[in-house]
């Protein structure tokens, strides 16, 4: 038996990942050793350094086309673009987490998660200003997992990344300070269904390994070309896709989304809606384009069908929602369908505009949805956030600025021109039409029109309805939330009005290595 050789590692190419995981590890140490008084600012600073450092690293690495860690990790355009996107969304989410001006108890997170909800101790803690800071290392680990997910060039690494990003998220979902039972229910639900989906992924991985003899995406590709699609491999691909679609909240694997989005602390929901989607689609794109890009006859009908189901389910069920967070959850499902429309846009020989369009859409959607959830944290009543739609009636009179911003974000989600949502939709629809997916695009447009109705309903409520006498108040956000709202709103506008340079960037980045 020979000695095990350490694989070649290009530390420079891995710098974004190292930054984030390093920050997460330091965060755990701080949590253990730093005194309580300084923990919060230190943790926020570490998480921000980690994410922003990762962002800078991805920018510096731009243009790299490399496979490292014995072929397990790809550092290429899509990986870097999506890692940068996740880093931005992650940094903004960390800022949302660190907001201390809104809740009278100074944090949206529970003081001691292990205390049973409703117990005497819990009631004591509910009003105390103690904050728990483990959310920051948890979130940083999740961000790291997401970034790893988009770079995984190997199905095993992909699975590891899936777990690294999922486990902290399950915990984060259960950490709401208010309505704790709902939050814990969300966490359990997410965990159970997430575990189920991971099992699907793992089973698919095993079948693909059985069919091709390798877990490396490039080897899978070779096997697909030489041997064609055996039943085993097709089955494996299907199961892998199921596992990924669960994370991307694509219908019909979406059933967790509304409950978890509603129950989780809103800042965490924002993080999940924005960053998890980017990561999941990063993996979907890599799996389908790199490993199965030559066998698009296998996955194209599958993705086609999923896209239609997701758009229709998201748009139609969104109509019946009475809770803002649940409504945005269904919106997220519909948007997953639009994103799959972009995924379809892979032309012959790896050409086609689909990759660039999907990546642009991910960035645009992530920023917009982050901003929309950020605004939800501002609208509060005595019992925490006021998320029932009826409570939003007449909000424009209480706070014209919040109502105007929310309207802007909703118009962007609806895809009205001069917002980033429109540019993104245009890009993915164009990609799909270029490969002849007419019916899909027409379905997408009809779904957009249906979805517009529920976005508009919120606008109608805010502007044209009379406020309830005991309606919610609009909190004055502290600096972190203000920064988040300013950046997301500016990005939504700029990507709608002058998207040229970012589109260029996405297009130039749209080359997979491998």
Partner 1 sequence: MSDVPWLVLMIAVPAVGAAVVAALPAAREALARQLALAVSLLVLLLAVLTTIAFDPGGERFQLTTSVAWIPDFGVEFALGVDGIALSMLLLIGVLVPVVVGASWRDTPPPRPGRPARSMTAFWAWLLLLESLMVGVFAATDVFLFYVFFEAMLVPMYFLIGSFGGPNRQYAAVKFFLYSLLGGLVMLASVIGLYVVSNSQLGEGTFAFDALRQLEIDPNVQKLLFAGFFLAFAIKAPLVPFHTWLPDSGAEAPIGGAVLLVGVLDKVGTFGFLRYCLPLFPDASRDLAPWVLVLAVAGIIYAALLAVGQSDMKRLVSYTSIAHFGFIALGIFAFTTEAATGAVLYMFNHGIATGLLFIVVGMVIARGGSRQIRDYGGLAAKAPLLAGVFLLAGLASLALPGTNSFVSEFLVLIGAFPTRPVFTIIATVGIVLAALYVLLMYQRVMHGPPRGVLLVDEDDAGDGDTVRPASGGTGATAVLEAPVRARVLAVRDLSRREIAVVTPLVALILVLGVYPQPLIELISPAVEATMIDIGVDPGGSTPAAPGSTGTGGTD
Tokens of 264: 């989780």
- To partner 1, the closest distance from the beta carbon of 88 in angstroms equals 21
Query: Among 199, 449, 468, 490, which residue interacts with partner 1 (rule: CB under 8 A)?
Result: 449
For every residue of 40-96, which 3-state class applies, written as one string? HHHHHHHHHHHHHHHHHHHHHHCCCCEEECCCCEEECHHHHHHHHHHHHHHHHHHHH
Selected range binding partner 1 among 54-62, 64-72, 204-212, 500-508, rule: CB under 8 A: 500-508
Query: Among 10, 235, 434, 483, which residue interacts with partner 1 (rule: CB under 8 A)?
Result: 434
Question: How many angstroms separate the CA atoms of 209 and 269, rounded?
Answer: 35
Question: How many angstroms separate the CA atoms of 105 and 174, rounded?
Answer: 18
- To partner 1, the closest distance from the beta carbon of 431 in angstroms equals 10
Comparing CB distances to partner 1, the nearer of 192 and 460 is 460
Comparing CB distances to partner 1, the nearer of 218 and 397 is 397
Query: Among 34, 214, 426, 494, which residue interacts with partner 1 (rule: CB under 8 A)?
Result: 426
Question: How many angstroms separate the CA atoms of 509 and 492, rounded?
Answer: 21
Our finding on whether 374 is near partner 1 (CB under 8 A) is: no
- To partner 1, the closest distance from the beta carbon of 279 in angstroms equals 25
Query: Among 29, 59, 62, 460, which residue interacts with partner 1 (rule: CB under 8 A)?
Result: 460
Comparing CB distances to partner 1, the nearer of 211 and 356 is 356
* DSSP secondary structure, 5-25, as one string: PPPP--TTTTHHHHHHHHHHH
Our finding on whether 466 is near partner 1 (CB under 8 A) is: yes
Question: How many angstroms separate the CA atoms of 133 and 175, rounded?
Answer: 11
Comparing CB distances to partner 1, the nearer of 216 and 425 is 425
Burial (Cβ within 10 Å: 0-12, 13-18, ≥19) of residue 480 = buried
What number of CA atoms fall less than 13 Å from residue 505's CA on the CB side? 18
State which H helix or E strand residue 379 sits in: strand 379-381
Our finding on whether 41 is near partner 1 (CB under 8 A) is: no
Question: How many angstroms separate the CA atoms of 294 and 15, rounded?
Answer: 31
- To partner 1, the closest distance from the beta carbon of 457 in angstroms equals 8
Selected range binding partner 1 among 37-45, 77-85, 371-379, 492-500, rule: CB under 8 A: 492-500
Q: Could you give the angle at which helices 231-247 and 155-173 cross, rounded to 10 degrees?
A: 30
Query: Among 29, 401, 442, 476, which residue interacts with partner 1 (rule: CB under 8 A)?
Result: 442
* DSSP secondary structure, 267-308, as one string: HHHHHIIIIIHHHHHHHHHIIIIIISGGGHHHHHHHHHHHHH
- To partner 1, the closest distance from the beta carbon of 343 in angstroms equals 17
Pattern 291-320, binding to partner 1, x per CB under 8 A? Answer: ------------------------------
Give the number of other Cβ atoms within 10 Å of residue 31's Cβ: 17
Our finding on whether 398 is near partner 1 (CB under 8 A) is: no
- To partner 1, the closest distance from the beta carbon of 471 in angstroms equals 13
Instruction: Return residues touching partner 1 (CB under 8 A).
Output: 397, 411, 414, 416-418, 422-423, 426-427, 429-430, 433-434, 438, 441-442, 445-446, 448-449, 452-453, 456-457, 460, 463-466, 498-500, 503-504, 507
């Amino acid at each position: 038996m020979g000695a095990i050789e350490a694989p070649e590692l290009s530390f420079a190419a891995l710098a974004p990942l190292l930054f984030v995981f390093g920050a997460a590890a330091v965060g755990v140490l701080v949590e253990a050793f730093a005194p309580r008084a300084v923990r919060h600012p230190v943790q926020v600073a570490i998480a921000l350094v980690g994410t922003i450092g990762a962002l800078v690293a991805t920018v510096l690495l731009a243009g790299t086309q490399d496979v490292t860690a014995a072929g397990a990790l790809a550092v290429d355009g899509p990986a870097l673009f999506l890692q940068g996107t996740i880093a931005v969304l992650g940094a903004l989410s960390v800022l949302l987490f660190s907001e201390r001006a809104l809740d009278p108890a100074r944090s949206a997170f529970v003081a001691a998660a292990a205390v049973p909800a409703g117990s005497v101790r819990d009631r004591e803690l509910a009003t105390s200003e103690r904050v728990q800071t483990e959310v920051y290392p948890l979130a940083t680990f999740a961000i790291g997992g997401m970034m790893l997910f988009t770079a995984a060039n190997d199905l095993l690494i992909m699975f590891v990344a899936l777990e690294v990003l999922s486990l902290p998220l399950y915990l984060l979902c259960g950490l709401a300070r208010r309505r704790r039972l709902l939050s814990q229910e969300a966490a359990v639900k997410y965990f159970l269904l997430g575990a189920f989906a991971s099992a699907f992924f793992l089973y698919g991985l095993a079948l693909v390994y059985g069919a091709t003899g390798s877990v490396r995406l490039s080897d899978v590709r070779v096997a697909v070309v030489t041997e064609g699609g055996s039943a085993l491999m097709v089955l494996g691909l299907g199961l892998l896709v199921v596992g990924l679609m669960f994370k991307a909240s694509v219908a019909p694997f979406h059933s967790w989304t509304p409950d978890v989005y509603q129950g989780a602390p809103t800042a965490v929901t924002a993080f999940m809606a924005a960053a998890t989607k980017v990561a999941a689609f990063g993996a979907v794109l890599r799996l389908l384009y790199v490993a199965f890009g030559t066998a698009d006859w296998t996955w194209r009908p599958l993705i086609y069908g999923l896209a239609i189901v997701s758009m229709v389910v998201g748009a139609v069920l969104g109509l019946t929602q009475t809770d803002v967070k649940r409504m945005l959850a269904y919106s997220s499902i519909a948007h997953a369908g639009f994103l799959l429309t972009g995924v379809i846009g892979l032309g012959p020989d790896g050409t086609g505009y689909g990759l660039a369009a999907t990546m642009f859409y991910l960035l645009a959607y992530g920023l917009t949805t982050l901003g929309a959830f950020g605004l939800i944290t501002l609208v509060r009543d005595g019992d925490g956030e006021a998320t029932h739609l009826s409570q939003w009636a007449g909000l424009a009179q209480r706070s014209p600025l919040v109502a105007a911003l929310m309207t802007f974000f909703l118009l962007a989600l609806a895809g009205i021109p001069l917002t980033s949502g429109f540019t993104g939709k245009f890009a993915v629809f164009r990609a799909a039409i270029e490969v002849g997916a007419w019916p899909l695009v027409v379905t997408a447009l009809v779904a957009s029109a249906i979805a517009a109705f529920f976005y508009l309903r919120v606008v109608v409520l805010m502007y044209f309805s009379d406020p309830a006498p005991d309606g919610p108040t609009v909190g004055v956000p502290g600096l972190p939330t203000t920064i988040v709202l300013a950046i997301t709103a500016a990005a939504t506008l700029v990507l709608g009005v002058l998207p040229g340079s970012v589109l260029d960037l996405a297009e130039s980045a749209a080359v997979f290595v491998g």
